[in-house]
Structure 1
Amino acid sequence: MMETQGYEVRFINESKGKGLFATQCFNAGDIIFEERPLVCCQFSWNGAYRYAACDFCMRPLESTEENARRLTGKKDLVLPYPECCPTDKKSHIQCKQCSVRYCCADCRDAAWSQYHKTLCTQSRTRDPSHPLEQLNDTWKQMHYPPETATIMLVARMIANVRQAEDQEGAFRLFMQFCHKTKNEEEEFVHKLLGKPFSDQLQMLREQINHALYADCVQQWLTQEGFLSLVALVGTNGQGVGTSPISEWVKNASALELPEEEKKKLDKFIENLYDELSKGTFLNSEGTALYSLQSACNHSCDANAEVAFPYSNFQLVMRATKDINPGDEICVSYVSECVLDRSRHTRHKILRYYWLNLYWRQSSSLFCSKLGGGRGVFAACGETNKLGKLQERERESLKDLEKDRPRLRSSIFWGIKMKGEKVACQGQLFMSINLPVVDVVDKLKAQYTVARVCYSQHYLFACRCTKCESQVEDPDVTSEEESDESSEEEKEFEID
């Protein structure tokens, strides 16, 4: 357990891992903590699209007007109140050896001491034959926008360890982040890189070995170690977004203006964002690893939020509700508008983000009559029939797992016993390639199945208070849930 002023990191359990808990009261709006990342990197395609940002802290290097002109395609666009532009071009500086740019000398020096001494290409122009350029190009051909990770963050982690005075300590610092089982890691990377992920992962591993191998990181560069490393980066990486326009808008909106001028400014900002929304990206975007932030779990009823108010990688965790000592500090991994939608929609979006499964052992999670809590199946406390099915099916699944041991699919399912409205519901996880229809047939042969849905890449189930209060009836009743069921789910829906 790691404790500090106002909060502490605690280990919760094997399935959920660690969490961040308050040790004092926080009021809504209070800053819980601020944090700089261990490592940060701009997304590969974002950089290729000429989103100029400091290579160390992600601060935008374009002026607000330059940024707006490029994004809207209007070269003659003039922004009012230029004094509100946050960009200080006089402080911008370049690496002495290559073309990488920084917002200030402090960032250049920090980057050199942490990772850039190892990663510097020693060339003022881009050299496509350089091993690191080839690595980045290979990654871009595997992972197109919208981006969720970049292999160059892995490169910076390796460089950080290589350049550290205490290499073992630096290595352990990165290894503190959440890890998955081998099946979960494979499924995550499968989703990240696509179906032929094994070949792609091997190609990336060979290139990064060629460019950056060192004895101090050899554990990361084995076949299994590299799989774990890529999954670690993708699972724990926090998105970072910076924009000179958003800073300009904040500064301009704070000006004390006559009412008529205020209305003109508001209309200008509205029209500007309408134009900007037509583009591929709005912000300079990247990913970073934060020690404290990574301990915060998801909740659909979150009590805190992440913000980047300084237009760089400095993260601020702010309370959105009153928090009492002992409360877990949770954030939402989905946007605010999504949180107002149905539980079905929230979970579908969470599944897209490939997050780790949290199966709560509370019997009240499914229904008041649910007796069995955790396992392949959940059991009905009144009939206990599913408990018998659990034992029988688990044995048959074990036999099949010997031949096909890769996580491939999962089923959400609800059971209606005769004479009961809803007896129980749960999830079936299969570590096999068994056709879902076969499993459904086994369930249908013995029980009346109210609804069975199939999801090929289900890796997250939220068990927050908000979701628990909405989980009792598995039937899709709302118009939104019915409309938003995916084609995959509809294909396996059974009446």
Structure 2
Amino acid sequence: MYSFEIKEIPGKGRSMISTKAFAIGETIFEEEPFVSRQFSWNAAYGYKACDHCMRPLETVVENVRRLANNNALVVPLPEYDPTTPWLQQFTQCPNCKVRYCSEDCRMEALNKYHRIACMGAFHTDDTHPINALNEIWKKMHYPPETGTIMLIVRLMAMYKQSNNKEQFLQSLQSFQSLIVNTEQKIYHKMLGEHFEQQMEQLFVAFCRAFADEELAAFTNAEAFKALMGMIGTNSQGIATSPLAEWVKKVSDLPMPEGDKTKLDEYIDDIYNKVGEFAGEFLNTEGAGLYLLQSKINHSCVPNAHSTFPYSNDIVVLKAVAPIQVGEEICISYLDECQLERSRHSRQKILKENYIFVCQCPKCQSQATDPDETSEDEDDDMDMDDDDADMSD
């Protein structure tokens, strides 16, 4: 039984309303995704993960050595490697060889979509229509990735394998209507400046990959755009990291102050080394669609936050502020840095990516602020500094 309800709020639409009080740090709910998938470039660059739940499939030592491009690196306290429990259960599909963290994940994938999705020996064949579609996507959407066409590919397999296709379609429609206002073109954010031409190329490749009467409802231009819009506005980013989880574990260990200082210095050094080679791309990353989590509206002063504490794709929503009975539960669609930007900058990002104008308490309190982006503010500051230098 959930401690919230979904209501329609006049002028705001669908909203999640708390039916109990939550304290800071309290879990509101946990949820497995309707569907999830690793990003295409992330997989291509060797970020090994369970094909179903996205758990990392490399030890913390392997992870650090790959990220730093240095096979001589040693990680202390290896007994706290977070991947040990599931790497002992590692398995794979006997036909296409995709990897899973456990037999449970393999069977869940098989029962949900993999009977259809399995490409057998063609899994690594670049000429296979699905691999060709993925390659077209990758050439249009270089890192940093915010979505993947492979999420739609998995949805198609789920639909074909579903025993209740009407219920499946109802679940899709709960994310977003399959009718997209083409004037808004939300899907263009996933592609680039030349999105109309790219959408056409993707659509042709998509139809080639799914030339199946059973999928005829999806292989028309409007339905495909709707699917793209759906994952563009509803998909939740997922990130897992053996290194980050190892750091959490060892940082909480009781130890002498001198040993603690040495450990902190080692962790700083490791992050510097992996940063020099891998830059910001430290995590195994992907995206998922969540039936509950997608119902939560945005606020620039959120009272809840989505976390992934189990090193997989299970999302855990936690309160980051006290929540009262009858209060709306909100998360931020923006990251921490974006939340610190001006009202105009925040609203510009939200309107471009999610097609709404934020009316949260923070935005309302800043309604009289100048309509300029944070970059404009920075430029103004730079100009002021230059003027001051000239006056000197």
When normalised by structure 2's length, the TM-score is 0.90
Shift of 1:268: 1.3
Distance 2:347 2:272 in 1: 29
Residue 17 of structure 1 is matched in structure 2 by 13
Shift of 1:348: 4.2
1:483 aligns with 2:356: no
Residue 5 of structure 1 is matched in structure 2 by 2
Letter aligned with residue 358 of structure 2: C
Residue 465 of structure 1 is matched in structure 2 by 361
Shift of 1:306: 0.5
Shift of 1:166: 0.8
Shift of 1:185: 6.7
Which residues in structure 2 correspond to 1:288-367 (within 5 Å)?
A: 288-351=288-351, 354-357=353-356
Between 186-195 and 324-333, report the one with greater CA deviation.
Answer: 186-195
Residue 108 of structure 1 is matched in structure 2 by 106
Between 71-80 and 205-214, report the one with greater CA deviation.
Answer: 205-214
User: How has the CA–CA distance of structure 1 residues 484 and 56 changed in structure 2, closer, same or farther, with 3 Å as cutoff?
Assistant: farther
Distance 1:213 1:312 in 2: 33
Residue 190 of structure 2 is matched in structure 1 by 192
Shift of 1:479: 8.7
Structure 2: runs of 5 or more not aligned: 381-392
Shift of 1:116: 1.4
Letter aligned with residue 66 of structure 1: E
Distance 2:29 2:111 in 1: 26
Question: Identity over the aligned pairs, expressed in percent?
Answer: 44
Shift of 1:484: 5.5
Residue 246 of structure 1 is matched in structure 2 by 244
Which residues in structure 2 correspond to 1:25-424 (within 5 Å)?
A: 25-88=21-84, 89-123=87-121, 126-179=124-177, 182-183=180-181, 187-278=185-276, 279-280=278-279, 281-351=281-351, 354-357=353-356
Write out per-residue CA displacement over residues 83-124 of structure 1, whole angstroms, 9 at most, x where no aligned residue: 111113221111110121111111111111111111111117
Contact kept in structure 2, 1:185 and 1:227, CA below 8 Å: no
Distance 2:183 2:44 in 1: 28
Distance 1:170 1:300 in 2: 33
Shift of 1:314: 0.6
Contact kept in structure 1, 2:184 and 2:355, CA below 8 Å: no
Distance 1:197 1:336 in 2: 28
Contact kept in structure 1, 2:4 and 2:17, CA below 8 Å: yes
Shift of 1:170: 1.1
Distance 2:13 2:78 in 1: 48
Distance 1:291 1:205 in 2: 26
User: How has the CA–CA distance of structure 1 residues 252 and 59 changed in structure 2, closer, same or farther, with 3 Å as cutoff?
Assistant: same
User: For the pair shown, which has the larger CA radius of gyration, 1 or 2?
Assistant: 1
Q: Any idea what SS the aligned residue of 1:71 has? A: helix
Larger RCO (alpha carbons 8 Å, 6+ apart): 2
Letter aligned with residue 356 of structure 1: I
Shift of 1:347: 3.1
Between 277-286 and 213-222, report the one with greater CA deviation.
Answer: 213-222
Letter aligned with residue 127 of structure 1: D
Contact kept in structure 2, 1:342 and 1:481, CA below 8 Å: no
When normalised by structure 1's length, the TM-score is 0.72
Contact kept in structure 2, 1:161 and 1:216, CA below 8 Å: no
Write out per-residue CA displacement over residues 39-70 of structure 1, whole angstroms, 9 at most, x where no aligned residue: 00000011111100100000000100111111
Shift of 1:238: 0.2
Letter aligned with residue 10 of structure 1: K
Q: Any idea what SS the aligned residue of 1:221 has? A: coil
Residue 375 of structure 1 is matched in structure 2 by none
User: How has the CA–CA distance of structure 1 residues 27 and 103 changed in structure 2, closer, same or farther, with 3 Å as cutoff?
Assistant: same
Structure 1: runs of 5 or more not aligned: 358-460, 486-495
User: How has the CA–CA distance of structure 1 residues 479 and 332 changed in structure 2, closer, same or farther, with 3 Å as cutoff?
Assistant: closer
RMSD (CA atoms): 2.1
Aligned residue pairs total 376
